[in-house]
Amino acid sequence: MSRGIRIDTPYLIRVDLTQGELSTDGGPPSPLTEEVRLPGQRSRGTLRFASGWLVVDRSRSTQGDLFLRYHAGTVEISDSLSLLCPQPTADDVAALTLLSSCLGLRPGPDRTHLRDIRRLPCLSVARIAADGSSVVRQDLSILTADGRKRGSSRTVGVDELLRRLLADIPSPTLVAASGGLASRALRTLLGADALVGSAQLTGPVSIRIPEPTGVVPQPIPVYFDQLRTTRVWPPLGNRHLGTAAILSVSSLTGANAVVAGHHLRLLLGTGPEECQGVAGPLTRLTSERLGTRTEWRLPWRRREHNHDHGSSPAERGQLPPWLSDDGRREIHTLNLANRAAWADWFRDVPPRTARVLWALTDPALAWLWDLSHEMAVPLHLPGGTPEALSALLHLPVRARGQVVGGRFLDAPILRRLAPDALYYADGAHRHRIAAATWVTQAAQTIREVAHDGSFARLGLIKPAEVTRILDNPFLRVEYAPALRQMTEADQWLTNLGGRR
């Protein structure tokens, strides 16, 4: 903002549902008679008041979240959680939702970790009545309608499309490089002027400055426990930590924008259900659906060892063993409800679109947007703009990554742009290694928090089980991400203060 760059400032709008009046920060209320466009590029949406319902229409925005709070006939709408709830106490936090998101279970589409605040994800429409009852539904009309009309895969090449998207970003741009393929491709596209920041999840952030400026590259130490984050966001050590660290040091480098390659590889990939059609011989060889895993073992070994190693316990639908009976029951119930809500959200959505939408509606991305507001540096995710989405979703399979001869080959464009990228499974893999390192070093802290933390006082976890897991190296590594997130969220919750 200080450098004269347009950055969407966060806003807070109050709508009186009984009177049908709208007021912004400190302004006088004005009647809401016609459609109002919400400010901001990313949180684009409209407000409409129709027959007693307030309709918040976000069906034309593909990024960012809106947060709503209903209180006594008034709805407060903001695109920044820290503006809506600047000083939360432990009583405002839905501890069960917080704990379940630490275990890798995503809260329902309209839930946040704060009890009174509802989330309105991208590509959705909400209708709120004066008594506070509300309905939130997804609306994907923009993707299907626009994508089919444009047919951009034939008219515009993928690299041309990406170039066009990156052209609007003010320079110098800082690329949040993870070491993965998408960010390496973005570096190539942005050319030599771009700054490159890479965050080792266990160490300092290093920012590489291009040669002509003559500045010696120097690592900037940012440790994740000191990461400047707003009070309202729990420090969930998830896969967006690297981008968050780079955002928080971006002001030191004079960068005017941060670009991250989230979703790009996913958008340019192929799902198992599409491989079925192209992989012909493979399906005939194995007679199994691709994407399923079976471990073939000798019959007498099969019983003792039949889980698949590729996915985390949460993905397999298992809860970690350290939950108490009450905690397990409550989290199981909550998760059933959330999964039903998401299943409803993605009903009749093609699998590929659903996978991309699942990544775009990640609640942790909202934390990145809030952080970018706070640091006054705009964040760009080129894979997430409406133009990119509708074009990339309709790319033919041959232009995307696919399974060739049993191996996954990345999309031709990514391989052309980033021939020297190191292969990583994905951000979740790096995050897992970082978590294992952290848990091995901080075992004592974890033990203390498990015995005397907020979750333990609520009776949700069994400390003895945590100790047992910490003592076994295999279990410790298996549950490392969940242990780390739980410990850090617990400390955050304890520091909030309040009645609990």
Partner 1 sequence: MTASTPKHPNASQPLTGRVTWALSPSVRLTPLPFGGQVLVELPTLTCHELLDEAARLLTLPVGTPVSLGAPEREFLTIAASAGWIVDVSYATDPVVALADRR
Least Å from the CB of residue 237 to partner 1: 16
Nearer to partner 1, 296 or 423 (CB): 296
Of the pair 137, 297, the CB lying nearest partner 1 is at 297
- Residue 294: burial class (beta carbons within 10 Å; 0-12, 13-18, 19+): exposed
Name the one range near partner 1 by CB under 8 A: 16-24, 181-189, 191-199, 295-303: 295-303
Distance CA 458, CA 476 (A): 23
Q: Which is nearer to partner 1, 169 or 443 (CB)?
A: 443
Whole-angstrom Cα distance, residue 489 to residue 316? 23
Contact with partner 1 (CB under 8 A) among 122, 245, 403, 436: 436
Between 260 and 436, name the residue whose CB sits nearer to partner 1.
436
Q: Which is nearer to partner 1, 168 or 471 (CB)?
A: 471
Is residue 495 at the binding interface for partner 1, with CB under 8 A as the rule? Answer: no
- Residue 440 near partner 1 by CB under 8 A: yes
Q: Closest CB to partner 1 among 200 and 276? A: 200
For partner 1, the binding residue among 301, 316, 398, 416 (CB under 8 A) is: 301
- Residue 437 CB, nearest approach to partner 1 (Å): 8
Q: Quick check: 483 binds partner 1 (CB under 8 A)?
A: no
Determine, following the binding rule CB under 8 A, whether residue 445 of this chain makes contact with partner 1: no
Nearer Cβ to partner 1, position 305 or 347? 305
How crowded is residue 127: how many other Cβ atoms within 10 Å of its Cβ?
A: 17
Smallest separation, CB 477 to partner 1 (Å): 5
Question: Given the rule CB under 8 A, which of 15-23, 293-301, 395-403, 491-499 is the region that contacts partner 1?
Answer: 293-301
In angstroms, give the least distance from the CB of 365 to partner 1.
29
Residue 474 is a binding residue for partner 1 (CB under 8 A)? yes
Closest distance of CB 436 from partner 1, Å: 5
Question: Per rule CB under 8 A, is residue 437 in the interface with partner 1?
Answer: yes
Q: Which of 254, 351, 406, 473 contacts partner 1 by CB under 8 A?
A: 473
Q: What is the smallest separation between the CB atom of 363 and partner 1, expressed in angstroms?
A: 29
Size of residue set near partner 1 by CB under 8 A: 11
User: Is there a contact between 390 and 268 (Cβ–Cβ < 8 Å)?
Assistant: no
Applying the rule CB under 8 A, the residues between 79 and 98 that interact with partner 1 are none
**Residue from 472, 495, 497, 498 in contact with partner 1 (CB under 8 A):** 472
Least distance from C-beta 471 to partner 1, angstroms?
9
Would you count residue 306 as binding partner 1 (CB under 8 A)? no
**At its nearest, how many Å lie between partner 1 and the CB of residue 238?**
20
Give the torsion sign (CA, 394, 397, 402, 403): positive
- Cα-based angle 199, 258, 147 (whole degrees, multiple of 5): 115
* C-beta closer to partner 1: residue 33 or 441: 441
Closest to partner 1 by CB, 19 or 472: 472
Least distance to partner 1 from the beta carbon of 490, Å? 22
Of 332, 364, 477, 500, the one binding partner 1 (CB under 8 A) is: 477
Site residues, partner 1 (CB under 8 A): 297-298, 301, 436-437, 440, 472-474, 476-477
